[in-house]
Structure 1
Amino acid sequence: MSALPVRRWWTGLPPDAGAAVMATGIISVGLRLIGHDLLSLAALAVTAVLWLVLAAGFVARLTGDRDRFRAEADTPSALTAVAATTVLGARLCQLGWQGAAAVLLALAAVLWPGLLYAVLRHRPGHRLPGAAFLACVATEGLAVLAAELSDARHQEWLGLAALACFGLGLLLYGAVLTRFDLREVTRGTGDHWVAGGALSISALAGAKLTASPVWTGAGHTVLRSLTLVLLCASLAWYAVLVAAELRSPRLRYDNRRWSTVFPLGMTATAALSAAAPTGAGWLRPVGEVLLWFAVAAWIVTFAAFLTTRLRTKAPDDPRSP
């Protein structure tokens, strides 16, 4: 394959392809939590490669195709750039690479306001797709990574920043939920799962804050209770979305299916992470089972992606599956 088709391929990937980084990264985090370090590192390597490919495409559009960059920046899927960066940063922080994680947090924080504003300022009267919940996911991703770094570096100001992002993410979730098109539950092609995944990453952020020594007394109690409420709500969404998929199967591959895999992995990881700080030990076995479902979904989605790419030669529309 010559250099030009290769470059056309990676610069042609749509913003929602960032969900593949999010999905792979959170599965890497989950695998580490259950002791499968080698599998976790393999998933981390894939995450890092995918992130670099998408980052290169992001920069190429920013510097060489401004019209397309502006058009894509106005879509909710653009926020996967922020969320994917925070997920990768959280996994690197687990490895003890706090310097790299801090750089990724700074990068995500720089990208976040502009992309969030571009999404929120459009179409106030329209019903929203599931991808709109990425406004919450990206914000809670900042909370998770800031909380991780606060604990690792013993920097209280990062904990306060994490708490602020946690609260703002919940407000954004409520704002999007009031305009969410519920028909997406039975008709959506993948990103409707973010409605549940956004609550899962909120629960993960809550678990990280609950585990932090910064919060004690009544503050700790409130965080613990809120984390459990969010996690139970995300599990309820999980059950509803699985039932809807069984009732109305959507088997054709779409890039937005990575936005299904991410909530599967995030719900599992949130349950695993919340078990100890909330004292709800029953969450750990639940998280372990859900994580293997997420791994299976990742394998199936990746196989479908490869099959689709091999069957599609130089598509005219880079957004075509």
Structure 2
Amino acid sequence: MIDVSAVSAWWTKCPPATGAAVMATGIVSVGLHLAGAETLSLIVLVLACVTWVALAAVFVVRLAGHRRRWAAEARSLGALTAVAATTVLGTQLSVLGRQTLAEALLALAALLWPVLLVLVVRHWEASRMPGAVFLCCVATQGLSVLAATLAAVQTTAWLARAALALFWLGLVLYGLALTRFDHRQVVEGAGDHWIAGGALAISALAGAKLLSADSARLYLWNDDGHGVLRTLTLALVTLDLAWCVVLVVAEVTHPRPRYDLRRWATVFPLGMTAAAMLSVADALGVDWLKGPGRVLVWVSVAAWLAAAAGAVLSARTGTDGEGTGTPGVTSRARR
């Protein structure tokens, strides 16, 4: 039987960063699809869609009836999970042939993206920011991935070129975020520090999608452009893997076993890295990436299960799932 009071409490307290759970669940579905586990991928996708609908309802209700709270949350770093989660679901739906739904989600994400991006970036601090600062890159590259995916299906050149522009903008935003990232978060962060690597992974995925979108009918990139995009995509995968090594070592040497809502932002980069490796392997013909990519898919599934178990336990014990108990604040850096 559904505990109405528990659902009401969740509805009231639900912070913007909860969107990371949809991002994580959606990308795990993508990874399972790429690994050939279709049935499991569809089950996980349904979970992601249900959660997305619930969070979208929270977003609309607060916009309509709690404007001050909505405005405050829209300025937080976690607000950009709304865009990223929407694009991840749209991409998977497009792959499954649901182009109308994917187009609708692209339109929605494109409307939200400039508003939330401006609000968030205007309230950046000069330095010592948590890993969620990289969501500016993730949200932008998510749009690029979805736009490139639809461009390939519809053979639409302007959409592919828009995706390319977003790809380059995403890399610029990554560089800006890196200058503000508090590198101590690697050993102190509660989970969202992993987005530093995940942002590179989704950038690599965007590069792979752009390369796959090209065809004799569209002729998007000349030989020089194709070469630059190929080299950059491989470099992004390499940098992402380097970040993963650093982050794993930090987790081993400075373990943080306590559940935190931001742990969903750890699952997302793992799943995104797996998806990027498998997509880059197909788009660029780098077959050796397939083996590690498939292994990482199941690692991300295990991480998702751990995060889900932590969330259920946190709900049962009545804790808020955040280290400080205050949405929007970490011990040393603003979220």
Say if 2:247 is the partner of 1:246.
no
2:133 is matched with 132
Taking the aligned partners of 2:251 and 2:66, their CA distance within structure 1 comes to: 37
Say if 2:299 is the partner of 1:293.
yes
2:277 is matched with 271
1:114-141 CA distance string (max 9 Å, x none):
1111111124423221000000000000
Task: Return 5+ residue gaps in structure 1 as ranges.
Answer: none
CA contact (8 A) 1:147 1:162 kept: yes
1:219 is matched with 225
Taking the aligned partners of 1:45 and 1:163, their CA distance within structure 2 comes to: 30
1:233-268 CA distance string (max 9 Å, x none):
000000000000000000111100000000000000
Amino acid at match of 2:58: G
Taking the aligned partners of 1:29 and 1:215, their CA distance within structure 2 comes to: 27
1:194-251 CA distance string (max 9 Å, x none):
0000000000000001112233411111111100000000000000000000000001
2:71 is matched with 70
Change (3 A) 1:50 1:199: same
Query: What secondary structure is seen at the aligned counterpart in 2 of 1:125?
Result: coil
2:333 is matched with none
2:311 is matched with 305
What TM-score do you get using the length of structure 2 for normalisation?
Answer: 0.92
Taking the aligned partners of 2:192 and 2:4, their CA distance within structure 1 comes to: 32
Query: What secondary structure is seen at the aligned counterpart in 1 of 2:31?
Result: helix
Amino acid at match of 2:311: F
Amino acid at match of 2:57: A
Say if 2:1 is the partner of 1:23.
no
Say if 2:45 is the partner of 1:41.
no
Amino acid at match of 1:237: W
Query: What secondary structure is seen at the aligned counterpart in 2 of 1:118?
Result: helix
1:30-51 CA distance string (max 9 Å, x none):
1111111000000100010010
Query: What secondary structure is seen at the aligned counterpart in 1 of 2:287?
Result: coil
2:100 is matched with 99
Aligned length: 319
In terms of mean alpha carbon deviation, does 214-223 or 83-92 score higher? 214-223
Aligned-pair identity (%): 56
- The Cα shift of 1:5 comes to 4.8
- The Cα shift of 1:65 comes to 1.2
1:88 is matched with 89
CA contact (8 A) 2:129 2:180 kept: yes
Taking the aligned partners of 1:114 and 1:313, their CA distance within structure 2 comes to: 32
CA contact (8 A) 1:11 1:58 kept: no
Query: What secondary structure is seen at the aligned counterpart in 1 of 2:202?
Result: helix
Taking the aligned partners of 1:276 and 1:314, their CA distance within structure 2 comes to: 41
CA contact (8 A) 2:127 2:182 kept: no
Structure 1 runs of 4+ aligned residues shifted over 4 Å read: 1-5, 317-320
Taking the aligned partners of 1:202 and 1:133, their CA distance within structure 2 comes to: 12
CA contact (8 A) 1:14 1:318 kept: no
Taking the aligned partners of 2:319 and 2:268, their CA distance within structure 1 comes to: 28
Taking the aligned partners of 2:240 and 2:305, their CA distance within structure 1 comes to: 23
- The Cα shift of 1:318 comes to 8.2
Change (3 A) 1:110 1:5: same
1:62-91 CA distance string (max 9 Å, x none):
111111111111111100000000000001
Cα RMSD for the two superposed structures? 1.7
Query: What secondary structure is seen at the aligned counterpart in 2 of 1:282?
Result: helix
Change (3 A) 1:100 1:240: same
CA contact (8 A) 1:92 1:100 kept: yes
Taking the aligned partners of 1:223 and 1:96, their CA distance within structure 2 comes to: 27
2:234 is matched with 228
Change (3 A) 1:300 1:206: same
2:331 is matched with none
Taking the aligned partners of 1:253 and 1:2, their CA distance within structure 2 comes to: 22
CA contact (8 A) 2:11 2:58 kept: yes
Query: What secondary structure is seen at the aligned counterpart in 1 of 2:286?
Result: coil
Task: Return 5+ residue gaps in structure 2 as ranges.
Answer: 215-219, 329-335
Query: What secondary structure is seen at the aligned counterpart in 1 of 2:257?
Result: coil
